[in-house]
Structure 1
Amino acid sequence: MVRLFFVSAFAALLMVSAPAMATGDPLIIAHRGASGDRPEHTLAAYELAIDQGADFIEPDLVVTKDLELVSRHENELSGTTDVAGREEFEHLRREKTIDGQRVAGWFAEDFTLEELRTLRAKERVPASRPANTRFNGLYQVPTFEEIVKLVRAKEAETGRKIGLYPELKHPNFMLEAEGIDMVDLMLRELRNLGIEPSDPIFIQCFEVGTLRRLNQRSDYKLVQLIHPEGGPVDEPEMRYAEMITPSGLAELATYADGIGPWLGYVIDPQTLEQTSLVADAKAQGLAVHPWTLRKENGFLPESLQNEGGPSADGKWRMLWAAALASGADGFFTDNVKEFVALVEQEDGR
């Protein structure tokens, strides 16, 4: 997801045991793991998020040259790994046009899994999270299979169900430019791993056609992501802003089970007052999972920032309390521990 200051879960649709928190509490979705405390999309970030109380963990999925699903924020690797300093991979540096944007760097789809596993993860936003840089170089890029195995191990350890919330990154580009069908890969992987539609899993994407194909070919719960700008790359005539209208939501409900909107669509960024989106979406039977709850100044609007620069904590409690009051079904957050504490405080526990 994009780096913006704003932030979903319909437990009745999930054939799982009750969440650890009180009935009616929103689902807590660990955005790329506990990414406020560890470099995102690492097994360490996912495990810490589970230990802190997350109901779901969210891996962004990209593809290797040999068709393995791995977890990175983007298919371009230099922002999240040490690849730029690895001379042995200099020959793999490329320029590609991805979703209309020219991007230079190293791309997961040009690496075999064996090659990718020699890289090490690093903090993606060091200015906002300098403390996470001490973990640079410690962790490999995890496969989706490894993430599932981790979740199952933590379920056995804790006795509670932990959900998966994968996002397919740039599937239209991968299909048209690289000839790789991420829908096929996703469904194959879920089948091979024994993950059923009744399990606690949502599949999310910013693209419409990908979700429509998944809806036609499976019964997994699907979430349409909604960006604050532009529109789906595979539907050039469509705008994301149109998706949140009553008629747009009715159309989404024909193929998706929920929406993952930018939080600015749910509460006004200046006044923190609620919009009608949560009620409008629920009227169409759609769950609402906004993104992203973060606490650092660098991710907050100016009116909620404190002194101390981008890495200092801002007035995040005001924003998060307003988000909770919106009635959304769950939230993506980088700071699981703090969100768990806030929900418990709101419950009076």
Structure 2
Amino acid sequence: MPRRTPLVIGHRGAPGYRPEHSRSSYDLAFAMGVDAVEPDIVVSRDGVLVVRHENEISGTTDVADRPEFADRRTTKTIDGAELTGWFTEDFMWDELASLRCRERLPQLRPSSASFDDQQPVLRLRDVLDAVRDASLEHGREIGVVLEIKHATYFRTCFGGTGGWDVAELIDAELRDAGWAAGELPLVIESFESSVLYALQERGIPAAYVYLLEAAGRPFDLLSAHGKAALTYRQTAAPAGLDALIGRVDGISVDKRMILAPDKLGRLTGPSPIVADAHERGLQVFTWTVRPENNFLIGQFRGRGGPSAFGDWESEWSVIRDAGVDGVFVDHPDLGVEFFRS
């Protein structure tokens, strides 16, 4: 059954105010009343699950300013895209732990950037422990929405040998951290369905959510089937949703798949995707609701430049009224106030 009000999920903590995935970002999200927080998971060379938005870390840490790591800069192809920078799989955890978090969008969020270089990079275990402690401190259950990044890539990232089975690593970490018994709310999500199914087979009790981009194909299926793989758009259509019944608990979609803006940025939604999924017993989360002009569809942008807040209430109203079950927010205080009112 759809929720009366959606889960408010602190997207990487509270990155509207603090550098994403930093401890202060998570602590602020807890204090602002979120239902859950979302850590993104990548892997170090020695198999530690690291909390970073991507495995390329030059934009979210001080690694580029660390002369001892200058020779680690390289170019790789990640999920079909060529990237140059520094990558978590080329560092041992002890080295990553010496790095400090930085704001990913300093021009848009200079206040958050004022906290740069103050806090270390976290492991998944650090976040799991922090959520349990915060649940006790704040007197309410706080959940984790664990997003798995690049599982297919990590399986083959060392030339086809010695890669990491991310499902195996997560299974072991959740069990070791006491998060595999269903005592606290756990959602596991990924753009790759294969790693979700692998964790289901391992018996981890969680809600499993399939992330869908507005365009393109999931890399695991593209690697296995080439252009015969379903696109995300095909998966979001009724026939694609039919195939997910009994396999996952829900989908998580780019907000544009609900808002359905035209080429001029004018609202044409809400699209039928939420209703279509609910008819099939699937929950629907959406990402990411943000108030700044830079992230709003054209119709709701206002004056003051990309970092100024536009008419975010009107955009968020469309998403709320579509009946979503969960929303990812960068500003948890705004999200809690708006979506619970």
Normalising to structure 1: TM-score of the pair? 0.90
1:195 pairs with 2:179: yes
1:307 pairs with 2:303: yes
Counterpart Cα distance in 1 of 2:140 and 2:129: 15
Contact 2:257 2:273 in 1 (8 A): yes
Name the % identity. 40
**Equivalent of 1:171 in 148, 151, 173:** 151
Contact 1:197 1:221 in 2 (8 A): no
Q: What SS does the aligned partner of 2:77 have?
A: strand
Aligned length: 325
**Aligned position for 2:78:** 98
Deviations 1:194-226 (A, max 9, x none): 113533000110012112222222242211000
Counterpart Cα distance in 2 of 1:10 and 1:193: 30
Contact 1:64 1:70 in 2 (8 A): yes
Q: What SS does the aligned partner of 1:289 have?
A: strand
1:209 pairs with 2:194: yes
- Which range moved further: 196-205 or 263-272? 263-272
Q: What SS does the aligned partner of 2:309 have?
A: coil
1:38 pairs with 2:15: no
Q: What SS does the aligned partner of 2:41 have?
A: strand
1:280 pairs with 2:251: no
Amino acid aligned to 2:68: E
Question: Once the 2 structures are TM-superposed, how far is the Cα of residue 254 of structure 1 from its aligned partner?
Answer: 3.3
**Aligned position for 1:123:** 103
Question: Once the 2 structures are TM-superposed, how far is the Cα of residue 268 of structure 1 from its aligned partner?
Answer: 2.4
Contact 2:185 2:206 in 1 (8 A): no
Following superposition, which runs of at least 4 residues in structure 1 exceed 4 angstroms of deviation?
Answer: none
Q: What SS does the aligned partner of 1:291 have?
A: strand
Question: Once the 2 structures are TM-superposed, how far is the Cα of residue 272 of structure 1 from its aligned partner?
Answer: 5.3
Contact 1:34 1:335 in 2 (8 A): yes
User: Which ranges in structure 2 are unaligned for 5 or more consecutive residues?
Assistant: 223-228
CA gap of 1:189–1:49, structure 2 versus 1, over 3 A, is: same
- Which range moved further: 78-87 or 262-271? 262-271
Q: What SS does the aligned partner of 2:241 have?
A: helix
Counterpart Cα distance in 1 of 2:165 and 2:338: 41
Counterpart Cα distance in 1 of 2:167 and 2:249: 17
Amino acid aligned to 2:251: I
Counterpart Cα distance in 2 of 1:317 and 1:308: 17
Contact 2:8 2:328 in 1 (8 A): yes
Note the aligned Cα RMSD (angstroms): 1.4
Question: Once the 2 structures are TM-superposed, how far is the Cα of residue 235 of structure 1 from its aligned partner?
Answer: 1.2
Contact 2:2 2:323 in 1 (8 A): no
Counterpart Cα distance in 1 of 2:292 and 2:131: 28
Amino acid aligned to 2:210: Q
- Which range moved further: 234-243 or 51-60? 234-243
**Aligned position for 2:167:** 183
Counterpart Cα distance in 1 of 2:326 and 2:149: 22
1:263 pairs with 2:255: yes
Contact 2:293 2:302 in 1 (8 A): yes
**Equivalent of 2:214 in 219, 228, 231:** 228
Q: What SS does the aligned partner of 1:290 have?
A: strand
1:27 pairs with 2:12: no
Counterpart Cα distance in 2 of 1:332 and 1:343: 11
Counterpart Cα distance in 2 of 1:273 and 1:245: 15
**Aligned position for 1:339:** 335
Higher relative contact order (CA 8 A, sep 6+): 1
Contact 2:2 2:278 in 1 (8 A): no
**Aligned position for 2:39:** 59
**Aligned position for 2:225:** none
Counterpart Cα distance in 2 of 1:187 and 1:303: 44
Q: What SS does the aligned partner of 1:215 have?
A: helix
